[in-house]
A and B are shown apart, each in its own frame.
Chain A
Amino acid sequence: MSCLAIVRAELFRLTHTRAGRLGVLVPALLGGGQVLVGELLAGVKAARALAESGAIVGDAQVETAFGPLADGLGGLGAMALVMIALLTGAFTIVRERDQGSLPQWLLARSRGDLVVGKALATCLYVIVAFVALFVASMGAAALRHDFSAIVDDGFEMASAQELWIEVARAVGAGLPAILCCACFGVLVSAATGSVGAAAVGAVVPFTLLALFQTTLGSAAERLFIAYAPFFSERAPLVRLTKVARAFSDTHWESGELLRAALVPGGEAVACLVLAWFITRKRAA
């Protein structure tokens, strides 16, 4: 595929610039940091309770590393990753137009290859950033806890294997929404004329919809935004924080994970088709 050269070039750019490296590090630092701060606060709380009543706080007895890992995956780091996916996508074409380098790309590959290649590279970059977030969260979570079964009053509520499967299911269902954020960004990038307009065009509508999605009712279920870990209770990565602690009132609903994967997946393809159409029609 000729768009592979575009993917390689774009990844080269992202990995050789400070901003590109920072984009991978920031979610990981935020996610890992959030886990560490959470652990620190839990430790302080437990110590205070121990000092006041001489009893160990109940939660501390059942907490495994899966809970903090989920906090890291669905918290601040994930929100930062969503923003990075949106903005990296939003800048990918328009910045070339802005700095006059778009003709250099169009001399190398067709417009269709450019859109697909840039979108693929952005998605790969987001996946790498997510892996970094996962590793950082996992490392921070493993500092105080083991990835072991959740046992309450001698009863094993969930085995370690079951919990790893839940994590994998949440990641599998939650990642498409983040990748769709990148594809939405690419669409905005193709449609706008300046980097500033692209940033506003991607972030403002996304944030407003994320904040007010409850007012959309069931219609929100048909938007990828509902499944992105950004002010959303529906997002699998956010729901994982409860599932990974085996809370009694939390379980995946029928078809929930499939919907979380398919809705953003379809919308990502639609965004790229639109971006391709716009890029084909626009002068370079």
Chain B
Amino acid sequence: MNAGATGQAPLELIGVTKRWRGGPALDGVDLVVPRGAVVGLVGPSGAGKTTLMRVALGLLEPDAGRASVFGVPAAQIARNSGRVGLLLDGAALEPGLTVADNLELHAIRHGRGGTDAKPLLERLGLTRLASRRASRLSQGEAIRVALARALLLAPDLLVLDEPVAHLDPALATTALDLFAEAARERGTAILVSSHQLAELERVADRLLLLHQGKVLLHGDLAELLATITPAVRVAARPLEKARAVLVRDPQVRSVTSLRVDGVEVLRVETATNGATAALNAALHVAGVAVDSIAPERPTLEELFRRTLGKAATASHEAVAPRGATG
């Protein structure tokens, strides 16, 4: 029975709070991972991403709130045996077993021994390693085996903590394509955390940004990216004259200098999208030679940087008055 048939969200967290001795690891977190969605979980180290995953899977008990998997309380997640694929705490393979035996062990654990792992091994470039003991694999190879294990039983929900951290770019792309394919073709719900934001942006369609256990952003990734102030990059001569022209333009919010591949360029934040042509014309009229001018694509990295920057500023402002009175 799949999530669609039951109408239950594959993964749901409502008001989840988890405290460690040093303070809250999670603070009132709400999250829904719908069927077929790829939710990117991002945040700086120590933000609470892994804790969130552990609570979501019933491996940690929350201090407040509730977590459920396919409508079943997370503490009873074993009732969904075989429906959840997991990559947490690194590869976590059985070192004395071969690659093929590690996958078979996983299938037996879920009462599905004899599941054919060959297509997955082939897809992840592991066929030649099938008879090699896990203790003799490199870190990247071990992670690939762990990914094969997570995908082996065609789960309805995948929870993946840093799945591409130790993979080379080509394999990272293959792995991410596999996730996207699972979501698209089988409706697998995916919660994936990563510090590799460019890679994550390629597959995620929703985003949850955590900072110090709190949710800073949550929603449709495209909509969140659209909230970033539009910007244009300009390479021109003379640069100072170009800056003077742009600063005076009513569409321009700010102008900053950047160095890209050893060349100094201007980053121009504009009030609206589609200002590139107008700025180009203004520079030409002012007699500036424009080498290149192009709108900047809003990226997850930019969204991440800005949101955390705002959070840091807000927390600094909240602390400052107290310091002044003390």
Q: Do they bind each other?
A: yes
Tell me the residues in window 69-125 of chain B with beta carbons closer than 8 Å to chain A beta carbons: 76-78, 80-82, 84, 86, 88-98, 101, 104-106, 108-111, 113
Shortest Cβ distance from B85 into A: residue = A107
Bound CA span A13–B58, Å = 25
CB distance from B303 to the nearest CB of A (A): 30
Tell me the residues in window 109-151 of chain B with beta carbons closer than 8 Å to chain A beta carbons: 109-111, 113, 149
Bound CA span A5–B90, Å = 24
The count of chain B contact residues (Cβ–Cβ below 8 Å) is 35
Q: Which residues of B contact A18 (CB under 8 A)?
A: 96
Identify which of A34-42, A47-55, A95-103, A270-278 touches chain B.
A95-103
Shortest Cβ distance from A281 into B: residue = B61
Given A16-B101, A284-B60, A104 contacting B109 (CB threshold 8 A): yes
Chain B binding surface, main DSSP class: loop
Does B54 interact with chain A (Cβ within 8 Å)?
yes
A103 near B59: Cβ-Cβ < 8 Å? yes
Which of A9, A13, A100, A104 has the most CB atoms of chain B within a 10 A radius of its CB? A104
Bound CA span A6–B81, Å = 12
- The total of interchain contacts (Cβ-Cβ below 8 angstroms) comes to 87
Tell me the residues in window 110-133 of chain A with beta carbons closer than 8 Å to chain B beta carbons: 110, 113
Does A139 interact with chain B (Cβ within 8 Å)?
no
Q: Which residues of A contact B105 (CB under 8 A)?
A: 9, 12-13, 16
Does B42 interact with chain A (Cβ within 8 Å)?
no
Does A108 interact with chain B (Cβ within 8 Å)?
yes
Q: Which residues of B contact A110 (CB under 8 A)?
A: 76, 78
Does B57 interact with chain A (Cβ within 8 Å)?
yes
B96 near A105: Cβ-Cβ < 8 Å? no
Among A2, A6, A103, A109, point to the contact of B89 (Cβ < 8 A). Answer: A103
Bound CA span A113–B81, Å = 13
Among B57, B95, B97, point to the contact of A103 (Cβ < 8 A). Answer: B57
A106 near B59: Cβ-Cβ < 8 Å? yes
Shortest Cβ distance from A18 into B: residue = B96
B84 near A107: Cβ-Cβ < 8 Å? yes
> CB within 8 Å of B: which residues of A?
2, 5-6, 8-9, 12-13, 16-20, 99-101, 103-110, 113, 283-284
8 inter-chain pairs at a CB distance below 8 angstroms, sorted by A residue, are A12-B108, A17-B96, A100-B89, A100-B90, A100-B92, A107-B78, A110-B76, A284-B54
Closest 10 CB pairs of A and B: A100-B89, A17-B96, A100-B92, A284-B59, A101-B92, A108-B109, A9-B109, A9-B108, A5-B111, A110-B78
